[in-house]
Amino acid sequence: MPVRVVHLTKAPERIAIIKPSALGDIAHALPVLSALRTRFPAAHISWIVNRGYAPILEGHRDLDEIIPFDRGALRKSWLTGSWEFTRFLKRLHSNRFDLVIDLQGLFRTGLMSLATGARTRIGLASAREGARFCYSHRVEDRLDVTHAVDRYWRVIEAMGEAPTVKAFHVPIQAEARRWAREILQKYPRPWLAVGAGSRWLTKRWPPEHFAALVQRAQTQFGGSAIFVGTPEEASLAQQATALVTGPSCQLTGATTLPQLVAILDAADVMIANDTGPLHLAVALGRPVIAPYTCTRVEKTGPYGQNDRAVETSVWCKGSYLKTCPRMECMAELTPTRLWPALDNILRTWQQHHHAA
């Protein structure tokens, strides 16, 4: 049965957080790391993460060790993948963790949790694929209505003495910060970071909508559009860039993760779909604007900025379908509906910028 309280007989010495992916989910889990450091200042804290996302955590002030998981190895032959995963599980066991927190809640991460041999293995009651049977404690949560940040935070609350503030800390590498400054100083402010892509077709607000919103912002406030995202999203960004007549910079698919962090940290506003870069910008404390089509703001909205995320009003909103033959939401959720929030952010920026 799910528990409300996890009783620890003594302070753990070695803690592991299991949250391999994805980028937005890792950003949502950051407060858990900082809370664990506050609660157990002397503990050695590790984070098990997919190798591709490891740079996001490098240099984090509250983290002692990153344990990269090579998910790509599992995509090789069945025999090779099984061998590599078995080796990884043995490595986890050798770390002798005494507290493990699985925030992913899937079969693979459940096995990781079990393989550590830790006496206390905590996961959420909403864990899927049988992962819940790998935990010593399953913490109550509400997958249907609770925001992801608050769901993960339930683990901290269950252990008692939860901090009153959820702290988001994203390390910014000095070299990446210098690179971003060199890039951005060529363009007039305000800097509008734009993420026009998404893995899900149903999250992809049309490029022409992004362009229209950026164009309106540039007409009234000036500034530059800085397009970011993965290489797979480059064509969408290029379509939007072609429709923007003001200054723009195309960085989609051209940044490392540390460089992306530095660009977002410097941005004056982020405009993006419900994707990793959006939630990373939120974790960095940047104001954001976001169209929400197939996902729900209350569950995965920009945490603390839900009023700046605009949901579609179509009958199937928040369906969480990755593909859809209708896509009515894309035409219904117009740039005009997002403009008031962006206008407010840029007016505030303009006042502070001129005052400075």
Give the model confidence (pLDDT) of 136-149 as tens digits: 999 988 777 789 99
DSSP annotation string for 194-253: EE---SSGGG---HHHHHHHHHHHHHHH--EEEE---GGGHHHHHHHHHT--S-EEE-TT
Q: Are residues 212 and 318 in the same domain?
A: yes
Compute the distance between CA of residue 230 and CA of residue 207 in angstroms, rounded to an integer. 15
Q: Are residues 243 and 205 in the same domain?
A: yes
> What's the CATH number where 265 sits?
3.40.50.2000
Whether residue 152 lies inside any domain: the answer is yes
Domain closes at, from 158, 189, 224:
158
Whether residue 9 lies inside any domain: the answer is no
Domain closes at, from 158, 187, 207:
158
Residue 1 pLDDT > 60, yes or no? no
Q: Are residues 149 and 294 in the same domain?
A: no
Least reliable range by pLDDT among 123-137, 140-154, 270-284: 140-154
Tens of pLDDT along 204-234? 999 999 999 999 999 999 999 999 999 999 9
Whether residue 82 lies inside any domain: the answer is yes
Q: What is the mean pLDDT of the chain?
A: 93
Domain membership of residue 28 as a residue range? 14-158
Compute the distance between CA of residue 100 and CA of residue 26 in angstroms, rounded to an integer. 16
Cβ atoms within 10 Å of 181's Cβ, excluding its own = 12
Residue 8's pLDDT is: 87
What are φ and ψ of residue 325, in 5° steps?
-80, -10
Q: Are residues 24 and 89 in the same domain?
A: yes
Amino acid at residue number 237: A
Whether residue 5 lies inside any domain: the answer is no
Q: Are residues 340 and 218 in the same domain?
A: yes
Whether residue 333 lies inside any domain: the answer is yes
Within the chain, what is the greatest distance between any pair of CA atoms? 64
Domain closes at, from 124, 158, 192:
158
Q: Are residues 141 and 227 in the same domain?
A: no
Q: Count up the domains in the chain and report the number.
A: 2
Whether residue 53 lies inside any domain: the answer is yes
Q: Are residues 60 and 178 in the same domain?
A: no
With 0-12 CB in 10 A as exposed, 13-18 as middle and 19+ as buried, what is 165? exposed
Q: Are residues 34 and 138 in the same domain?
A: yes
Alpha-carbon torsion (55, 67, 20, 299), positive or negative: negative
Residue 3's pLDDT is: 62
Average pLDDT over residues 150-174: 93
Q: Are residues 183 and 319 in the same domain?
A: yes
Q: Are residues 118 and 214 in the same domain?
A: no
Peptide bond into 171 cis (omega under 30): no
Which residue do the tokens 């910008």 mark? 281
Q: Are 135 and 107 spatial neighbours (Cβ–Cβ below 8 Å)?
A: no
Whether residue 214 lies inside any domain: the answer is yes
Closest CA to 141 of 130, 129, 157, 119: 157
Residue 352's pLDDT is: 87
Q: Are residues 134 and 223 in the same domain?
A: no
Q: Are residues 180 and 270 in the same domain?
A: yes
Task: Classify the phi-psi angles of 72: left when phi > 0, otherwise alpha if psi is within -120 to 50, otherwise beta.
Answer: alpha
Q: Would you give the DSSP letter of residue 185?
A: T
Residue 64's pLDDT is: 98
Sheet of 44-50, strands arranged across: 65-69, 44-50, 14-18, 99-102, 120-124, 137-139
